[in-house]
Each structure stands twice: as C-alpha cells, then as structure tokens.
Amino acid sequence: MDRTKARAERTRREGGFTLIEILVVLVVLSLVAGIAIQTALFAFDVARLGRSVANMRQVASALMQYETATSTLPPGGLQPVSAILPTLGNQAGRVFPTDGWGNALYYEQLDINGVASFRVYCYGKDGTPDGGITGSWIDFYTDTVIENGVFVQTKW
C-alpha cells in the first residue's frame, strides 16, 4: 500500500503547472498579441492611405476634365475640395472630398511660369500640413501631393 500511496502523491504533485511556467506562457502570449496588433494597425493605415490616393486621383481626374471642358481651373487659393465640387459640376461625378482617415482633401490653383496648374493635398493621418514637398514619404503623417495629375509626394 505504501507504493500506491507514494505513486498517488507523486502524480498529484506532477499534475499541474508551476507559477513560473504559467508566467512564461503569459509573457510569450503578450508579445505575440502585441506584434499582431501592431501589424493589424499598420495594415489599416495602408488601406486608409490607399483610399486617400484613390480619392485624390478622382479629384485630379475631375479637375483635368473640367480644365479640358472650360480651358480654366476652378479659381482660388488653398481650399477644401468640397468647396469646389459645385464648380466642377458633372465632371465631379463620384468624387469623395475626404481622405481615408476622414480628413478633408485640399485643392490649390497654381500659376507656374504663366501656366495654370493645380495641386491636390492629403495631409495624412493627423490632418495637418507638414510644410514643404520633399518628393518622398516617411510615414502615414506625411502629406501626399498630386500636381497636375502626377503624384509628386506619396508612399505609393
């Protein structure tokens, strides 16, 4: 009987996990979850930037169609795209005046060496202008810019 009692005692002690083992598993699971969450958030921002780029292309296309039809561009300095949609009329079609994060896209008429030109701006995730155009990108907070239908600063 002593043997049976000793075996039962040994089985009872070996049957569960120690506190250290449970803590190690929790740490590993936390690290994996943290990496997965960061990856998912990055993927969402990539999708939002893709939507922004598509919306900017629609705006630029509508502006080029308007210029072809009227030989002018909508007047004015830097202004939200929503302000020029009534001017664009039929050329606007299904133009969305916001970026993927819900911030307004902006339009600016330019005069470069006597030639009418335009820019469309997306101010990125934070919705605030960064200043100058660098011709490259850093992150989702960097401005995306189309000039005359050509991207001059973008992640894409």
pLDDT at position 132 is: 66
The count of other CB atoms within 10 Å of the CB of residue 107 is 28
pLDDT at position 56 is: 93
Count of domains observed in the chain: 1
pTM over 0.95: no
Cα–Cα distance measured from residue 24 to residue 5, given in angstroms and rounded to the nearest whole number: 32
pLDDT at position 98 is: 93
pLDDT at position 129 is: 85
Which residues span the domain enclosing 49?
2-153
Phi, psi (rounded to 5 degrees) for 17:
-95, 150
pLDDT at position 55 is: 93
Tokens of 107: 């339009």
The closest of 30, 31, 43, 35 to 100, measured between CA atoms, is: 43
**Residues of the chain where predicted confidence (pLDDT) is lower than 50:** none
Cα–Cα distance measured from residue 4 to residue 10, given in angstroms and rounded to the nearest whole number: 10
Cα–Cα distance measured from residue 37 to residue 54, given in angstroms and rounded to the nearest whole number: 26
pLDDT at position 118 is: 93
Cα–Cα distance measured from residue 106 to residue 88, given in angstroms and rounded to the nearest whole number: 14
